[in-house]
């Protein structure tokens, strides 16, 4: 009789715990369904306001003329296969384990801009020969001004035996993707485009000053840059 009571109580306890867990899952599903987890919104799903911290780390005065903008796109992919690796009796082995695959594709859009620094501009940058004027400018520099993950088009496959991709893993893949974009900048020709576009901004200003277009020359220290030169002209925040 006592044993029966114990059994009933155990079954009841299991059922109650199961129901509670089910409700917990449903709450999560309902909030996902709302598709809005903005803590600033009121009465959406089951969220509570969270405190955010904003910190202005640097305010810098400058005089940069941005003349070229490149929009680039990259799909960062990662094939995460679980492998058993090792060496036994001096024999190497590397075995792919079944049911351990995870794959992800993350599209990134980045914006690169090239600029010319005018903060040191002085009479030394101007040469006049009769009616003709030559403006000598410093080398253009390149920066990555923004990057954005196309979250709508992120695709992933996670095998049953594996956990979902964590935020830290995603950040690691994105960091590598960003580094790959930066590495490909020297092949894009952005410095040359920036030089050509500088004239499009400065020549109209000089014609307003009374110069004829044919009398104005916008010159740079160099016309051709080696890969090594371009590396020194990249100003990317770490």
Instruction: Check residue 36 for interaction with another protein (CB under 8 A).
Output: yes
Tell the burial category of 112 from Cβ atoms under 10 Å away from its Cβ (0-12, 13-18, 19+). buried
Q: Does 10 bind another protein (CB under 8 A)?
A: no
Round to whole Å and give the CA distance between 187 and 193. 12
CA dihedral 148, 152, 155, 159 (to 10 degrees): 110
Interacting positions 48-107 with another protein (CB under 8 A): 48, 50-90, 97
- CB of residue 6 vs another protein: minimum separation in angstroms? 26
Using CB under 8 A, which of the segments 1-9, 47-55, 215-223, 225-233 binds another protein?
Answer: 47-55
DSSP for 141-190, please give it.
EEEEEEEEE-GGG-EEEE-TTSPPPPHHHHHHHHHHHHHHHHHTGGGTTH
Among 1, 42, 160, 168, binds another protein (CB under 8 A): 168
CA dist 142 and 156 (Å) reads 33
Measured from the CB atom, the residue of 3 and 119 that comes closer to another protein is: 119
Binding of residue 37 to another protein (CB under 8 A) = yes
Q: State the nearest-atom distance from the C-beta of 74 to another protein, in Å.
A: 5
Contact 174, 144 (CB under 8 A): no
Residue 144 as a binder of another protein (CB under 8 A): the answer is yes
Residues 176-215 touching another protein, rule: CB under 8 A, are 176-178, 180-181, 184, 188, 193, 197, 200-201, 205, 208-210
Binding piece for another protein, criterion CB under 8 A, among 2-10, 168-176, 217-225, 226-234? 168-176
Among 18, 23, 127, 157, interactor with another protein by CB under 8 A: 23
Residue of 193, 70, 188, 176 lying closest to 140 (CA atoms) = 193
């Amino acid at each position: 009789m006592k044993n029966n009571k114990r059994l009933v109580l155990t079954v009841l306890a299991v059922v109650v715990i199961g129901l509670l867990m089910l409700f917990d899952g449903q709450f999560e599903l309902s909030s996902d369904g709302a598709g809005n987890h903005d803590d600033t919104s009121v009465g959406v799903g089951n969220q509570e306001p969270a405190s955010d911290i904003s910190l202005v780390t640097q305010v810098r005065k400058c005089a940069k003329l941005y003349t070229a903008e490149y929009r680039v796109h990259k799909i960062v992919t990662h094939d995460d296969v679980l492998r058993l690796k090792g060496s036994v009796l001096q024999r190497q082995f590397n075995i792919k384990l079944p049911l351990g695959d995870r794959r992800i594709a993350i599209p990134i859009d980045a914006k690169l801009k090239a600029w010319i620094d005018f903060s040191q501009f002085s009479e030394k940058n101007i040469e006049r020969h009769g009616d003709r004027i030559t403006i000598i400018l410093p080398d253009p520099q390149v920066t990555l001004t923004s990057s954005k993950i196309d979250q709508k088009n992120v695709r992933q496959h996670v095998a049953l035996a594996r956990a979902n991709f964590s935020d830290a893993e995603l950040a690691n893949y994105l960091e590598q993707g960003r580094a790959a974009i930066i590495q490909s900048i020297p092949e894009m020709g952005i410095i040359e485009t920036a030089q050509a576009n500088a004239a499009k901004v400065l020549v109209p200003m000089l014609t307003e000053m009374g110069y004829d277009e044919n009398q104005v020359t916008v010159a740079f220290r160099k016309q051709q840059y080696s890969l090594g030169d371009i590396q020194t002209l990249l100003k990317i925040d770490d």
